[in-house]
């Protein structure tokens, strides 16, 4: 009798070739963007107030990858969307030399477009849609990491000013002063105690986390574009307000309660941090459209 051959089917062989091509393209792009990603990792780790933001983006990436895998059966193939995104990502790199002032956001956008293109090759348009929250988070985290050093003193001044206004409204004896030194310090005097408005009090950790949560949830949920923009724009004043209230709460509690200062500082800070993010989460999910499961893999 004639023996049957066990050669792989043409479809399976094509999928293997396509997967190897996509993996090779992914490795090439990874080597190109490695310096940018290494800088982003170092900048996030070196700025303590960005640690939570980095974890938020990492969590969003895991959730987005899971949604991409469930959105469409894994079938690597070339498609127009993937080629257009990769081409746009590579082409935008040339803008860096013409726009040096915007080099960081343009480079981050280039990476996100290329990453989206590889995702389109692996999971199609549904996969790109599922990864939008993570790509938005990566782009915004990089911009925040680049802006962090220049925002310290302006945010300290804003936090001291608004917290002093709140304390005065509540009837407390309060004053704000600049103490010259190396480095100089902003002092907040509440009754008979003086509090240093340090870098940890500038609210950048809460502001960055709020902006990241608003941007990520804006693409995680199906909400109109104007609602996405409103949520993102609302996140900044909300974080500034809650940071000022945090300083007010710490100042009043430390003045009137016989508890360790660090316990009050960390406990009240965590309370307002969680409240701000929870409020943004509630606003994002309030009018979100139901998820469409028609294209999900079963």
Q: Tell whether 109 and 161 lie within a shared domain.
A: no
Integer-rounded Cα Rg, in Å, for the chain is 24
Of 23, 34, 125, nearest to 84 by C-alpha is 125
Residue 80's CB is within 10 A of a number of other CB atoms, namely 8
Last residue of a domain, one of 148, 169, 195: 148
What are phi and psi for residue 293, nearest 5 degrees? Answer: -105, 10
Last residue of a domain, one of 148, 176, 207: 148
Question: What pLDDT is recorded for position 290?
Answer: 57
Question: What pLDDT is recorded for position 193?
Answer: 81
Q: Tell whether 132 and 172 lie within a shared domain.
A: no
Average pLDDT per 10 consecutive residues for the chain, totaling 298 residues: 51 70 85 93 90 94 88 75 91 84 91 91 87 94 90 86 86 82 80 79 90 94 90 94 90 85 89 95 81 46
Q: Is residue 7 part of a domain?
A: no
Question: What pLDDT is recorded for position 63?
Answer: 92
Question: What pLDDT is recorded for position 84?
Answer: 93
Paired tokens of 158:
């804003």
Question: What pLDDT is recorded for position 294?
Answer: 44
Total domains in the chain come to 2
Last residue of a domain, one of 148, 167, 198: 148
Of 112, 99, 100, nearest to 142 by C-alpha is 112
Q: Is residue 9 part of a domain?
A: no
Q: Tell whether 143 and 20 lie within a shared domain.
A: yes
Q: Tell whether 55 and 31 lie within a shared domain.
A: yes
Task: Find out whether 86 and 113 touch, Cβ atoms under 8 Å.
Answer: yes
Which domain range does residue 112 map to? 14-148
pTM for the whole thing? 0.85
Q: Is residue 107 part of a domain?
A: yes
Q: Tell whether 185 and 97 lie within a shared domain.
A: no
Q: Tell whether 144 and 155 lie within a shared domain.
A: no
């Amino acid at each position: 009798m004639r023996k049957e051959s066990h050669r792989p089917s043409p479809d399976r062989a094509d999928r293997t070739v396509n997967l190897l091509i996509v993996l090779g393209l992914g490795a090439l792009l990874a080597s190109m963007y490695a310096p940018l990603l290494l800088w982003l990792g170092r900048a996030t780790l070196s700025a303590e107030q960005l640690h939570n933001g980095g974890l938020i983006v990492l969590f969003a990436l895991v959730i987005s990858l899971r949604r991409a895998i469930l959105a469409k059966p894994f079938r690597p193939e070339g498609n127009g969307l993937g080629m257009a995104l990769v081409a746009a990502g590579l082409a935008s790199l040339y803008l860096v030399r013409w726009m040096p002032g915007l080099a960081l956001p343009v480079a981050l956008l280039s990476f996100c477009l290329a990453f989206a293109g590889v995702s389109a090759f692996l999971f199609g348009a549904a996969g790109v849609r599922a990864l939008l929250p993570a790509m938005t988070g990566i782009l915004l985290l990089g911009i925040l990491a680049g802006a962090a050093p220049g925002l310290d003193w302006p945010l300290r001044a804003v936090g001291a000013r608004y917290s002093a206004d709140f304390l005065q409204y509540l009837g407390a004896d309060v004053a704000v002063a600049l103490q010259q030194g190396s480095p100089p310090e902003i002092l907040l005097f509440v009754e008979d105690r003086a509090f240093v408005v340090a870098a940890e009090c500038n609210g950048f950790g809460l502001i960055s986390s709020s902006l990241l949560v608003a941007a990520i949830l804006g693409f995680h949920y199906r909400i109109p574009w104007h609602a996405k923009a409103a949520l993102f724009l609302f996140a900044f004043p909300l974080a500034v307000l809650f940071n000022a209230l945090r300083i007010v709460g710490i100042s009043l509690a430390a003045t009137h309660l016989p508890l360790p200062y660090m316990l009050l500082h960390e406990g009240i800070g965590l309370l307002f941090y969680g409240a701000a993010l929870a409020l943004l989460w509630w606003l994002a999910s309030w009018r979100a459209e139901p998820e469409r499961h028609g294209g999900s893999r079963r």
